[in-house]
Amino acid sequence: MAAPKPRTTRSRSHRDVPDLEKMDAAYSWDALEWTKIEPVTRSVSRVNLDCLLEAEQVIAEGYGVVLVNTDEAGTLFVTNFRLLFLSEGTMDVISLGTIPLATIDKFNKIVVKSNAVSRQSEKSSPSRRLLQVIGKDMRIIVFGFRPRTKQRRKVYDALLRCMKPARIWDLYAFQCGPSKYSNTDPKVRLLNEYFRLLGKGSLHASMSMIEDGSFTLSNELWRITKINSSYTLCQSYPFALVVPKHFSDEEMLQASTFRARCRLPVVSWCNPGTGAVLARSSQPLVGLMMNMRSNTDEKLVAALCSNLAGVRGSQRRKLYIADARPRKNALANGAMGGGSESSSNYFQSEIVFFGIDNIHAMRESLTRLREYLDTHGEKSSDGMSSFLRHGGWTWGGGNLSSMSASVSTLGDSGWLIHVQSVLAGSAWIAARVALEKATVLVHCSDGWDRTTQLVSLASLLLDPYYRTFAGFQALVEKDWLAFGHPFSDRSGMPTVSGSGNMPYELSRQSSTGSFSSSPMRQSSGAFISQASSSPHAQTSNNCSPIFLQWVDCVSQLLRMYPFAFEFSSAFLVDLLDCMLSCRFGNFLCNCEKERQQCAVSEVCGCLWAYLADLRASEGGSHVHYNLFYDPTIPTKHEGALLPPAAALAPTLWPQFHLRWACPKESQAGELEVRCRKMAIQLSEMQKDKEIAERKAQEMTAAMESLKSELQNEKQLSTSARNVAKNASKECEAIKRAIQSLGCKVQVSSNGYCTVDIDGDLMKKSNQKSHPASRRTSHRSLPSPSEENDLSLSITVTADDVPSNPLSHICEALCPLRTRDGGCQWPDAGCAHMGSQFIGMKANFEAFDQLSIYDGYFKPE
């Protein structure tokens, strides 16, 4: 039984009042008529919602809640997976107010007290109870609760319990199970990608191959080693690695001790044709004085630089060591034992620093960008647009343009500057590999954040396979998941080790309870933060939007090269939403080893299977497909994309950054919308074409059946004609037999039979049968004495003769008839022919009625 809907009476919405009155109402929050909302108490057990996902359960709920961003009233549910907000009347899901628990960055309680004129009005105007929720997906939402109902406390406590559980197996992904979104083991897919890179794409990996260790294949330059199959070499590396062919496993063990966290240099991507290599590692442990060396590490790096093919003298290819950090940061890491390589220790090498900031700078930058968009967006967390907030039209005002919001405009946040740095570094790496056929070794401090960004983005530029759906999945699973990007640490989720002390990030000094990003908010009332003093309010220093920033870089490349990518920007948005929500197990844990310990691939659902199912539901017209994708367009440098420096000017990603603050701006461009509509129309026309083709096939089958029937009719007609010919011959034989008796017989097609008998024959017949003639004197036959040359004409019609008409002729004229009417010659030809007369006559009548001519059946 459905739960009764709460009754909420509200005076007037923001949309129903003039601008000045609306602005005043917004400043005093009077648009939310809290005191007029009738209290409602319901039990969670009675809630039965059709919108709940599999294994999703309601933990707490609040009725008569107002979404301050849009001034909508509804019901707020806290489930084991998300914060679900349903509209008051229709019970539809409000997307802005619905956010997965894992996507919530922080939340806190806020009390709003209006500026009262008198004490009496202050007493009659109770404070507003608000709950601010800040998401990792660029939205800041605020819910308003009725005072003195304790609904906010119930929702707040439920969020404390469910948002970040202490144990990883308490996450929704483990409770839901694989369901229908199961997939093969990620180890198998990693080996398939290795086989492709080694030029052995025709081979297919299997679990049996992994179990018996028979996956150690090789080509002329590289081999797949199983030295890390038990994760003893490096816990954050995958079980299989691609290394130089003539570099032994014992030497790899020695080289790993010279790199931070044992992340030694290995091959991430290679060109089978040119031998160019893109390798990755962590920083070397050179120490404070930068004087520590490792002969094995130098030998391994030198082995990555194979000889150039087709060059005299076996010239070695150039080695570039790309350090993603600023130079000063690399030097500072030397105090902790780290540092950077020296070009004098590595033959024919060049050290390049990209100057990309660390994870903490990225986290702060995204926070500033989120607050900036909330301030200038159309739907703000304080219920006011920038037009009302500033008392007039300003830049933004609900019209935040992604093109105008360039690097210079959003310079204070620094987000686009960081994106530009990653793009520029990746383009530089791709150019060195594609143009110079050089070997590039990329690393940062630990080799799993900035290194992963640069290596995967450079691979995307170099290899067109990675710009397809299957290739993009292989790229993410190889460089991000297999090589140990710490997704749990970066998203603040519990891990296998140390899952009992996971801090809850609910408030921070920059944004807790102050609404500092919105001008003039302090004039509307006193905002008092009620952030908890418990350890849950601590900030996790390891959270950072590294993967989000990389996907943002991919969207920038998609904007620059719209014909080169099979997937669209909508696919990237859905990928990010699934990653942030932790609905599936692909992005849980920090490395491949932890995911194997938790049996994630067996227990949890697969994100890639879910996205593939979405695409299969609508075919090629799905929004995940890029309408402009054309793999046949030729590109320079063997399919590599090498953007010029002038093109690396990123803009806001409207489909992701602006979808909550400026929904209109987040929509696709006009050209893409028109193409999408045309694609839908084309899909409908193709469906109509398929229906028409099926009908045409049915008609063709019917015509073939009719043709077969006509062929049968032709055969039957030919057979009937043969029968008619035979009947005609028999008729001629009958006539000759009767004529042999002295009679002349004429049979017409209308059934008349005429027999002429000569007088001499009648005379002889009468002489021989005189007694009989006397007894039959009643016959009207003339006597022979009257006329010697008498001829007798007897006409018999088909209507007068019910049986064989020749039998009557025999009875009257045959000289071989006995007195009792029998025939003295039963085996005579006339008797046999008489028995066939009826059939012959029926055949002639049938042929006379046929309308099928010889010309009707055309020769085949």
Q: What are the residue numbers of the active site?
A: 444
Taking the CA of residue 58 as centre, how many other CA atoms within 13 Å lie in the half-sphere pointing to its CB? Answer: 20
Q: Where are the alpha helices (DSSP H) in 478-618?
A: 487-491, 546-560, 569-581, 592-597, 600-603, 607-618
Which of 359, 402, 380, 375 shows the shortest CA–CA distance to 657? 402
Cα torsion through 627, 562, 649, 451, rounded to 10: 100
Contact 78, 104 (CB under 8 A): no
Contacts of 72 (CB under 8 A, 6+ apart): 66, 87, 88, 94, 97
Q: Which amino acid is at 446?
A: D
User: Measuring CA to CA, how many Å separate 185 from each of 71, 121, 191, 269?
Assistant: 47, 66, 10, 21
Q: Is 324 helix (H, G, I), strand (E, B) or coil?
A: coil
Beta bridge partners of residue 128, listed in sequence order: 112
Instruction: Characterize 149-162 residue by residue with b for buried, 16 or more Cβ atoms within 10 angstroms of its Cβ, and e for exposed.
Output: bebbebbbebbeeb
Q: Is 339 helix (H, G, I), strand (E, B) or coil?
A: coil
Which of 514, 661, 520 shows the shortest CA–CA distance to 108? 514
Which of 59, 172, 139 shows the shortest CA–CA distance to 494? 172
Q: Which amino acid is at 541?
A: N
Structure tokens at 262: 């044992």
Contact 25, 19 (CB under 8 A): no
Neighbours of 55 (CB within 10 A): 15
Strand 319-323 versus strand 439-443 pairing type:
parallel
Residue for token pair 């006329």: 787
Structure tokens at 672: 């893409």
Query: Would you say how long the chain is, in residues?
Result: 860
Strand 349-353 versus strand 319-323 pairing type:
parallel
Q: What's 836's DSSP letter? A: T
Which run of H or E residues covers position 843?
Answer: helix 837-849
Which of 110, 270, 90 shows the shortest CA–CA distance to 197? 270
Chain centroid to Cα 514, Å, comes to 42
**Element counts in the chain: helices (H) and strands (E):** 29, 18
Angle of CA points 332, 335, 339, to nearest 5°: 60
Contact 19, 397 (CB under 8 A): no
Angle of CA points 466, 468, 469, to nearest 5°: 110
In the chain, what are the helix, strand and coil shares in percent, each to the nearest 5?
A: 45, 15, 45
Contact 631, 549 (CB under 8 A): no
Q: What's 480's DSSP letter? A: I
Contacts of 458 (CB under 8 A, 6+ apart): 269, 278, 426, 427, 429, 430, 433, 440, 442
Longest dimension (CA), the chain: 163
Beta bridge partners of residue 322, listed in sequence order: 352, 442
Contact 447, 546 (CB under 8 A): no
Question: Rounded to an integer, what distance in angstroms lies between the CA atom of residue 477 and that of residue 489?
Answer: 18
Contacts of 830 (CB under 8 A, 6+ apart): 734, 737, 738, 741, 806, 810, 814
